[in-house]
Structures are given as structure tokens and as C-alpha cells.
A = this chain, B = another copy of it.
């Protein structure tokens, strides 16, 4: 264990902990996927030649698989491309240019506003910023977004057309939305008739404990509350198989799926069905998927535990310093005393540890209290993680000392 920042800096490390990338060891878990459409295999899925054009919404068998995993009817599931972020982006593009099924194009109804639970996922916010969509910060509390605030905002302001939600093991805090909050999101009254919940279920299967938390089905709840078209669920296998070569999934009401099909069929003659076939054969069924995710857990859990115990040793007795203890997902949210996150990230960088830029988990990169640091323990190996956690701790301690010296 290193004692101070100066000593640690001399290690001249080169560690990148900025993104939630799976480690090579995790990617190895799915290596046999690469052989799943080998030359000796039959390349047809039922009557479909997976090599040719077409099948806009994805292979029926793959849609069936994810329908059962997401607990949604198969016809309400789309499997398309390798990036769920691209699906989210394109839903916003289609809403801007065509309008949702229930309204005119957003681009002709500016301003458009989204509610953004914070801290949150920087790439969600980047899409909105790029398209000039206003963002309103909503505090993410222990059990989900501050619903009193959300309910009053959406009731009052018809320009609020959407809200980002990462309902389980949220990025970066690990927050799991409570049933009560999910119910309120599904049933609340909104001034905008075409209000949408962008339900990014990115970590649905990504448990860090044996608890395997499940949350209520947002599509069902929206339908029961008379808002069938409110929620669009996104998921992907990027952190189950290969980060860059997985499958992206979209699920929603039949009305929204029909709308999606109309929009997306103008864009392309269909997704890569061979990769879908590979995944179908590799995944087999929900039991084997659970076993795969258990193996991911056994690689990830020691890394999260190491960060937690090292933070505990260095930072455990400090006032105003805390960190999340997620039960799943890919991140830990380290909360520094006010005004010290940026400086800590800078000091860590000077010691050779690249962290996600402070502020990145807020719209426009602006953390009003400058106190959140996103820790991504997945990619480096366990020894590197232990070093990095020490380095981050020492950087924060150094920043606290600097602040005291100035005062």
C-alpha cells in the first residue's frame, strides 16, 4: 500500500479507467461465438437465408429469445445492429424529423426538453446536446429519480418530450429504481402527449451479487396506466458477448414498433442476420445466458470489491467522501467533498491514471458541485485495479490537503 501521492506518482503508471469496457478476460468467455456460423454449419435459420438481404426487425428466433428475456411479446421486440446507443439516437432522429406516431416532428416544435437524472450516462446527454435539445437535471435519489420534481415538471411543461432512465444498476451510481418510482413514471400525467421514457435497460443481466435483482416491467405498467406508447426499452449484448459486435434490442408498444419499422425500413435493407444467428446458437437459452453472466460476475466482482476495500482503507473515515456500492452494472460513483472532483481527476492523470473526466456524468459536462467521479473497474486487471484505486484515493487525499492549505 502506497502512503502518499508523491510516492505513488513515481510509479509512472499508464492506466485507462475512463470507460466501462469489458476486459479481455471477459471477452474470452464468448470466444466460441466466433465459430457459431462456421463453414460446415447450416446458415439458414428456419426458412431464412441469413446471408441475404432483408428481415428488417431481426431474425424471428432471436426476437423470440429476447422477448422471453425481456418478458415482452415477440412482435414488440426488434433486434438490429451492434449498438443500442444507435437505436436510441435513431429514435430521437426519427422523432425530430418524422414525429412520434402521436405527434408532429419535434424539430418543428422547438424547444424540446428532456429530463436527465444525474449523475447519468454521458453518451445519453451527448446525443441531446448535439441536437440542441434542452436538458433539465433531476437528482437521482437512493431509489430512483426525484419523482416529486419529475411529476411537477412534466405536468407543467409540454416541451418536455422525454426522459433518460437507466432503471437498474444505473450508470454511474448503481441505483436500482424502486417499484414505487417505476409505477409513478408509468402513470404520471404529462403535458406532452408524446412524452417518452427512454428506458435504457443496459445492465439488466449484469449482476454483481447472487441477488439478481429484477424490477417491474415498464411496458406493462405503462399500458395498464393508459400510456401504452410511453416507454421504449433498449438493451444490448455488448457487455454479454463482444462489446463491439453484439446485438442491440429495442422493445415497445406495437404502435411504436410499427412506427420504428416504417422509419428504419427507409434506412437499410436489414440488419446483419449472421451475427444474430451466431448469438442465437451461442446463447441457446436463458439458463445458459445466466451461466455466462455468472462467469462475467466472477471476473468483475473481485475488481469492484478491491476498489471498495481500498477506498474504505484510505477514505473510509473522511467526512464528505462516499462511494456507491453497486449490486450490478459497471461503475462506482465516488463522491468527493465539493469542488474537488476535477482536481482529483487531474492529479490522478498526472500519476498516470486516466479517469472519466469529472463532470461527464452531467449534461453539458457540468457537475454543479464538482464532486462526482465515475470509476470504471471493468477493463484493467485486478492488480492494476488495486493500484488504480490506491492512486485515486491518494489523489483525492492530496486534493483535500491542497484545499485545506488554501483555506
Tell me the A residues contacting B by CB distance below 8 Å: 19, 21-22, 24, 27, 30-32, 34-35, 37-39, 41, 43, 49-55, 81-83, 85-86, 89-90, 93, 96-98, 107, 123, 126-127, 130-131, 238, 242-245, 263, 266-275
Contacts and interface: CB of A to CB of B under 8 A. Distances in A.
A166 B201 CA distance: 41
Contact of A39 (B34, B269, B274): B34
A21 B269 CA distance: 11
Contact of A272 (B50, B52, B89, B245): B245
Given A82-B272, A238-B53, A266 B21 contact: no
Instruction: Give the interface centre of A21, A43, A127, A269 by most chain B CB atoms within 10 Å.
Output: A269
Q: Which 6 pairs, one residue from A and one from B, show the smallest C-beta to C-beta distance?
A: A83-B268, A51-B242, A86-B268, A89-B267, A245-B274, A53-B243
A98 B50 CA distance: 35
Contacts of A238: 53
A142 B115 CA distance: 56
A267 B38 CA distance: 31
Contact of A244 (B35, B37, B54, B97): B54
Given A52-B243, A96-B97, A244-B53, A82 B31 contact: no
A32 B24 contact: no
Contacts of A49: 24, 27
A96 B107 CA distance: 10
B22 A89 contact: no
Contacts of A272: 82, 244-245, 272, 275
B266 A89 contact: yes
B97 A52 contact: no
A149 B96 CA distance: 34
20 contacts: A31-B39, A31-B43, A34-B37, A34-B38, A34-B41, A51-B242, A51-B243, A53-B244, A54-B244, A55-B244, A81-B81, A85-B267, A85-B269, A97-B107, A127-B267, A130-B263, A243-B269, A244-B273, A245-B273, A272-B275
Contacts of A93: 93, 97
Contacts of A266: 89, 123, 126-127, 130
Contacts of A242: 51-52, 274
A205 to B, nearest CB: 18
Contact of A83 (B41, B86, B263, B269): B269
Contact of A51 (B27, B32, B86): B27
A32 B273 CA distance: 17
A390 to B, nearest CB: 26
A157 to B, nearest CB: 23
A208 B83 CA distance: 37
A35 B37 CA distance: 8
Contacts of A32: 39
A52 B27 contact: yes
A367 B96 CA distance: 31
Contacts of A86: 267-268
A225 to B, nearest CB: 31
Contacts of A24: 49, 52
A224 to B, nearest CB: 33
Contacts of A31: 39, 43
Nearest to A107: B107
Contacts of A245: 50-51, 272-275
A246 to B, nearest CB: 9
Contacts of A96: 97
A60 B119 CA distance: 35
Contacts of A90: 267
Contacts of A81: 81
A395 to B, nearest CB: 26
Contact of A268 (B34, B39, B89): B89
